[in-house]
Structures are given as C-alpha cells and as structure tokens.
Structure 1
Amino acid sequence: MSSDPWGRVDETGTVYVRTADGEQVVGSWQAGSPEEALAYFERKYEGLVVEIGLLEKRVRTTDLSTKDAQVAIGHLREQVDAHHAVGDLDALRSRLDKLVETVEARREERKAQRAKQSDEARRAKEDLVVEAEQLAQSDQWRAAGERLRALVDTWKGLPRLDRKSDDELWHRFSHARSAFSKRRKAHFAQLDAQREDARRVKERLVVEAEALSGSQDWGPTAARYRELMAEWKAAGRAQREHEDDLWNRFRGAQDVFFAARSSVFAERDAEQAENLKLKEELAEEAEKLLPIEDLKSARAAFRSINERWEAIGHVPRDARPRVEGRMHTVERALQEAEEAEWRRTNPEARARAAGLTGQLQAAVDKLKGQIEQARAQGNTSRAEKLERELEGRQALLDQALKGLHEFGG
C-alpha cells in the first residue's frame, strides 16, 4: 500500500483521492507499482492545473466569449468531478468557481460597455442626422456635398444600434441626403437653363458686335457698344465651354472698331491742334483792334478776320470755349461801338430824348415850387413827401440828360 497527502493505493491496486467529501475512487492500477500509479494520476492532476491556468489567462487577457468560457469551464469541471486525478481537487473546483465569477463579471462589464457604446453610437448617429438635416437646407453645394459624404463614412464606422432605432435614424439621415441632392439637382438644372439662355443672348450680341465692327459712325456705334456691354453683363455666364469663345469674339469685334476709331481720332486730333494754332493767331489779330477808335475800319478788319476764322476747321473741344471767347470779346466791343454810334446819329431818338428831358425838367421845377409853398405854409409833412418825389424825378432827369449828352445835345 502506498499513499501521499492527496491519495493512496490499496493492496488491490485501487487508487483513491482525498476530498472534502471523503475519499473518492480514482481508478484501478495493475500495470506497475503503487508509486507509479500515484505518479500517473498526479500527472493527470497537473494536466488539469495547467488547463485551468491557461483558461484563467485566456479569460483575463483575450476577448474569449462568455459562452466559450462557460463551455470550457464546464468541460474542466466534468474532469475534476470525475475524480480521475490525484491532487487538491477541491482547490481546482474553487478556482473554477472563481473563474465562473470572473467570466460572469466580464460578461456584465461587456454588457455595460456595449450599452455605453450603444448610447454613444446613438448620440453620435443622432448628431449626424441633425447635421445632415441642417446641411439639406444649405446652398453651399460643394462644401455641403463633401460634408454629407464625410458623414456617410462616419456613419459606416459607428456600431449598429437595435434594428428599430438604427432604421429610424438611417431613414432620417438618408432622407436629408436625398432632399439635398434633389435641391442641388434642381439648382443646377435651373443654372444650366439660365446659362443656355445666356448663351443664346450672347450669341446674338456677338453677331451684332461683329456687324458693327466696320462702322465709321463713331459716336452712335461707340454708344451702342456700351449698351451691348451692359447687356452682356446682365445676361450672366454661359456654359464654360462657350463663354470664353463668345467673349473672345465679342471683345475682338469691339477691338476692331475702337482701333479704327482711335486711328481716325489721332489724325483728327493732329488736324484740330493745327487749327487751334491758326485760330489763336486770328484771335490775337482781332484783339489788336481794341479799343475801337475807327469803327468803319475796325468793322472791315474784323469781317476779314472772321472769314478766315470760318474757313478753318474744328479745334479740340476743351480749347473751343477759350479761343472762341477771345473772338466774342472783340465782337461785343464792335457791337457796343455800333450801338453808341447809332444812338448818337439817330434824329428820332435824339428828339425823343430831348422831349423826355424837357418834361422831366418841367416836373422837377414844379415840385420845387410846391415844396417852397408847403414850407411857407408850415406844412412840413407835405414838404417832406414832395421832396421824396423830387428825388426820384431828379434821378430820372439826370439819366435823361446823360442820354441826351450822348447824342451830342
């Protein structure tokens, strides 16, 4: 008979293991000595210890599922309960019991973690839905479209929720994307229509611009080109593949016209500059007639100067008022001299002036007599009234005498 702290072999070769519930039969050994029997069953015990240790490590360090862990624990528990090993089987049962508790705790942790992840995923997806619904109303087509595509990628990276919740949120998310796509499609369809309208308008403007490019009606044509440019800007942009070509044709037609006009205007400006020089010389010649002393000769000289003036063409517009003003000054001096001569030599006017002067002189003399009479009578207020009237009549008389003097009277 042989034994150790956890088992023994009796004389019949039966192997026993000691447990808290008493000895349990392990098996029968007839192949060798009792020591060899104990050693064999102790090795089986050590094998169980190793398997339990490996399972404990897997539970601690890997993502072993609760179900697989429970199956493995059950398998080991069957082996321990079968008493086919010699060793502290109660200690193994205790380790398996603790392992069950650990697995259950891990299951609860994972359940809580999944619940937390689910809540986080729900909030994240709800945030994505809210942002997508806001973007659905945006007119920033490029930026909003890119952002919606990024939101889809973010959605795909999030865990699924329960089917009902996930489907409801996805429906809202998908509906927002569809609404945005529909609005964007309608916008660009309208834009395409507008650009097609713009293309037709600009083609018409190009045809007219090209037809006008050879015109020599400089002023009206330049004005029409300005109107065409305003119409061009108001038409909006055509499709990209047409816009540049139409603009090049439109601008090219204008360039042809304005280049021709510039050439003509350059020649005209040179001619007008020469005309200005000639007219300034004539103005200087006319100014030498001032002051007017001999009206007849001055009139003849000015007529000759004016004939030569009229034979000269246009001068630059900005210089015209200045040079023409010099001639007008001389012309007005001649007119004033002629009017003075006419007044001086017109007998009817002289007679009218003399008659008026006589009438005014008689009225002044009469008023003076009335003033003296009023003062003699002590009527001061009447005298003052008559004196005010006398002042007015005297002023008229002085003016009439001056005019009569101009007639040589």
Structure 2
Amino acid sequence: MTEQTPKPTPPKPGPPSPAAVRKVAHPPAPALTPAAPSGPPAESFGRVAEDGTVFVRTPDGEREVGAYPGATPEEALHYFARKYDELYASADLLHQRVTTTDLSGKDGAEGLAKLREHCAEANVVGDLAALDAKIAEIEHAVTARRETEAAERSAARAAAATEREAIVAEAEKIAAQPESKVQWKASGARMRELLEEWKKHQRSGARLDRETEGALWQRFSAARNSFDKARRVHFAQLEGSQAEAKAAKEALVAEAEAMTTSTDWGSTAGAYKRLMDRWRQAGRASRADDDALWERFKAAQDAFFAAKDAVAAQEDEEYRANLAVKEELLKEAEAILPVTDLDAAKAALRAVQDKWDAAGRVPRADVDRMEKGMRRVEQAVRDADDKRWNQTNPEVAARAQSMVDQLEASVASLRADLEKAQASGNERKVKDAQAKLEAQEQWLAQARGNLDEFSG
C-alpha cells in the first residue's frame, strides 16, 4: 500500500473522542501525561526500500505502510515512527484514564473501540507488539472497571431496595392502625412525606429492576389507598356525628336559655345538672360550633346561678339572727350530756327541739355544722333510752336467766367428769376435762354479769 504524499505537518491520531471521557467536577481529574514507548526507538522497527517504500517489521513478518516521496529514507522512517509514537501515546493516555480516573466502564469501552479503529487503519512504524500489549492492558482495565461498577450497582440496588422497603413498611404500618388510635393529621402528613421520599429515590437513587420496583410500588400504593379510604370514611362519619351533636346541643342550649329567669331554685338547679349530663353525652360537634354553643349554654347557666346566689346571699344575711339563737340552743342541748337522769334529759331535749324548730333556718354555710351538733345530742339521749329498755325488757332478762341456768348445769356436769378422770388417774382425760370446765366457768361468769345488769 502506497500512502499519499503528506502535508508538511501531518495530523495527529489524537486521543479518543470527548464522548469517551466522562467529565467529573469533584474531585478534579489528575493531570495525565502519556508515557513514551519503552524499548528500542520506533524507527528500528522499519526499513525503506530502494524505491522509497516504507515497511514495518511485525511478529508475522514485514508489511508495507506507505511512502514519503521526495524525502530521505531517514525522514520517511521518522515520519511513520512519529505517527506510531502519537498512536501509542493515545493508547497510554486512555489506559491512565481507565485506571486512575473515574472514567466509566462504558466510556472506557467506547474509547478502546475507537483506539482499535485507529490502530487498524494506521500505517505506522514501531513496536506493534508493544502497542497490542498496551491495548490488551486497556481491555483488562476496562473489564475490571465494569466488574467493579457492576458490583457497585448491585450493592446500590440492594441498598435502594432496602430503603424503599422501609418506606413501604412504614406506609403499611400507618395504614394498619386501628381507627380509634389514628392521629389523622400527623399520619396524613407522614404519608405525604413518604411519597416525596419515594419520588426522590426514583429521581436520584439507584434504579431497581422493574419487577422489584413494581412489587414495592403496588404495596406502597395499596397502603396509601387504604389509608386514604379509611380517612375519607372516618371524616364522613365524623361529619355526620358532629351534625347530630350540634343539633342535640342546640336543643340543650334552647332549654338552658328558657330556664334562665326561673326562680324555682331547687328544681331548676337540678334541671341544669341534668342538662349538663346530657351535654356530655351528646358528643362533639365541630370545634367552632362546640365553642359557640358552649358559650351560650354556660351564659344561660351562669345567669341563673348568679341570680340564685344573689337570693341565697340575701337570705343568709336574714338568717344570721336565727344562727345566733340556734348556737345558744345547741349549747343548752350539749349541757344535757352526759345523760345521768334519762327522764330529765329527754324532757330538756324536747324543750330545746321545740325552740330549735321555731328558730328557723340558718345561713347555708352553717347548716351542716349546726345540724350535726344537734344530732350528736339526740343520738346520745337515744342510746341511753335504748340501754334502759334493754335492761328492763322481760324477754331479754328471761333469755339471760336461761343462759345462766344452762351454763350452771354444764359446769356441774363437767365438774363430775373431772372428778371421774382424776379418780381414774388418766392425765390426758384430766387435762381435757379441766380445760372444758375452765371455759364453761368463764362463760358462766359473763352470763351472770349480764343477768345482774337486768336485775339492777
């Protein structure tokens, strides 16, 4: 093959195309300097025939690379040798990019393919075996880079699948909550955050295989749909129950407002208490409705009780004179105690009770204190009366005498048993008879004491 006459400055084969080298912003790529081929100079691998044809020696023999008309044999060899050096420099530069930068395996493979094209078309003089060895090194480095990238992609996909699984699991956990325990606002916000996290993983995370991503998305979508359906049902039911509660509370407010001017203090106060119980059982309306209705209900209730308290305060002022009278009567009643003469005590108490009833009501704050004081005196007199009745009751006295008679007979029998046991010399029977006799004698002493009370 005879090459065309070159221009004075022949073009360089150059490095692989820019598409074969990935641009990296951080960190900056190291400066790359292609190394010159080692070994003998490139010219030593060629010769120039007498007709000017240039040949290159290869492991398979010589082959023609071209001619350089009008040039000396040295100039012709130098020209084709320089082309070899430039081609080798391109190969070494690609090798450095594959092994020392983050050039992707794909871009490295593309660069290697273009380099092979240049080598296949190149007519150069040099160590073609060394060039082939450099290309083999590049191929091995590209293969290693691709294997590394495949492992990294696999690890990234596994991590991404784990992260997506965590998103799906949390969504399913939110959707599976019992309705009574769901915090709808917080759970709804978290569901939206999980969707944004899913989208972020899709945009910037490792890409999952279609089957895995499809299965996870179906679970995630099902959890979101289940939660949204439950939320819609919940709030639809809530809206209905709130409407019912609002209607019920409006009716209660109307009743409360109708009783505001009532002066039947006791029964109306009870009615308000019952209204309050019904209010608590009516459920909750919306917050705005609940607050507005409660303000009306409370205003009506407060108006009634304010009027009631005003009347009670006026009455209490009027009852203070009665309180002074009853305090003196209570002192007079307490002087009856302790009861020593029951008939005199009963007569004195009746006189105090008549005056007590005639004295009238006392202020509300003093009612409990005064009534308890009088009840203590009345109970003490009643207890004394009951005690005297029990002592003079013939039926009770007869029962007491009967008990004494029975115990005396039992004691006499046990004494006879004791004497027999002592006569027999049986210590065990003596102890048993003695113990029974002592118990019966104690009961007899107690029964005789009770009988003495009845006999005076």
The TM-score range, normalised by the shorter chain, is 0.5 to 0.7
CA distance in 1: counterparts of 2:64 and 2:47, whole angstroms: 10
Q: What does 1:161-176 align with in structure 2 at a 5 Å threshold?
A: 161-176=208-223
CA distance in 2: counterparts of 1:269 and 1:187, whole angstroms: 54
Structure 2 residue 126 is matched with structure 1 residue 62: no
Q: What does 1:41-190 align with in structure 2 at a 5 Å threshold?
A: 41-60=80-99, 61-66=101-106, 68-138=107-177, 139-156=182-199, 157=201, 158-190=205-237
TM-aligned CA deviation for residue 307 of structure 1: 8.4
Output the amino acid matched with 1:51.
Answer: S
Conserved in 1, the CA contact under 8 Å of 2:153 and 2:206? no
CA distance in 2: counterparts of 1:256 and 1:153, whole angstroms: 55
Conserved in 2, the CA contact under 8 Å of 1:80 and 1:89? no
Output the amino acid matched with 1:171.
Answer: Q
What TM-score do the two structures reach when normalised by structure 1?
0.67
Conserved in 2, the CA contact under 8 Å of 1:286 and 1:327? yes
Measured at CA, do residues 244 and 53 of structure 1 come closer, stay the same or move farther in structure 2, by a change above 3 Å?
Answer: same
CA distance in 2: counterparts of 1:281 and 1:210, whole angstroms: 45
Structure 2 residue 82 is matched with structure 1 residue 35: no
Q: Secondary structure at the match of 2:362?
A: coil
**More off after superposition, 56-65 vs 170-179:** 56-65
Q: Deviations over 1:347-389 (max 9, x none)?
A: xxxxxxxxxxxxxxxxxxxxxxxxxxxxxxxxxxxxxxxxxxx
What TM-score do the two structures reach when normalised by structure 2?
0.61
Output the amino acid matched with 2:273.
Answer: R
Q: Between the two proteins, what is the percent identity of the paired residues?
A: 44
Q: Deviations over 1:153-185 (max 9, x none)?
A: 333304343323322221122111111111121
TM-aligned CA deviation for residue 239 of structure 1: 0.4
Measured at CA, do residues 286 and 22 of structure 1 come closer, stay the same or move farther in structure 2, by a change above 3 Å?
Answer: closer
Conserved in 2, the CA contact under 8 Å of 1:17 and 1:86? yes
Q: Which of 356, 362, 369 pairs up with 1:315?
A: 362
CA distance in 2: counterparts of 1:195 and 1:213, whole angstroms: 27
Aligned twin of 2:308: 261
Q: Deviations over 1:26-54 (max 9, x none)?
A: 21001433333233223322221232123
TM-aligned CA deviation for residue 94 of structure 1: 0.8
Q: Deviations over 1:172-210 (max 9, x none)?
A: 221111111111211122122111111111111111111
Aligned twin of 1:221: 268
Conserved in 2, the CA contact under 8 Å of 1:58 and 1:64? no
CA distance in 1: counterparts of 2:329 and 2:136, whole angstroms: 131
Structure 2 residue 236 is matched with structure 1 residue 197: no
Measured at CA, do residues 4 and 43 of structure 1 come closer, stay the same or move farther in structure 2, by a change above 3 Å?
Answer: closer
CA RMSD, aligned part only? 3.8
| Higher normalized helix content (fraction of residues) | 1
CA distance in 2: counterparts of 1:232 and 1:70, whole angstroms: 80
Q: Secondary structure at the match of 1:194?
A: helix
By relative contact order (CA 8 Å, sep 6+), the higher-ranking structure is: 2
How many residues matched?
323
Output the amino acid matched with 1:150.
Answer: E
Aligned twin of 2:46: 7
Measured at CA, do residues 327 and 160 of structure 1 come closer, stay the same or move farther in structure 2, by a change above 3 Å?
Answer: closer
Conserved in 2, the CA contact under 8 Å of 1:80 and 1:93? no
Gaps of 5+ in 1: 289-297, 333-394, 400-409
Output the amino acid matched with 2:313.
Answer: A
Measured at CA, do residues 260 and 180 of structure 1 come closer, stay the same or move farther in structure 2, by a change above 3 Å?
Answer: same
Measured at CA, do residues 220 and 30 of structure 1 come closer, stay the same or move farther in structure 2, by a change above 3 Å?
Answer: same
Conserved in 2, the CA contact under 8 Å of 1:41 and 1:86? yes
TM-aligned CA deviation for residue 283 of structure 1: 7.5
Q: Secondary structure at the match of 1:25?
A: strand
Output the amino acid matched with 2:293.
Answer: L
Aligned twin of 1:357: none
CA distance in 2: counterparts of 1:99 and 1:122, whole angstroms: 34
Output the amino acid matched with 2:193.
Answer: A
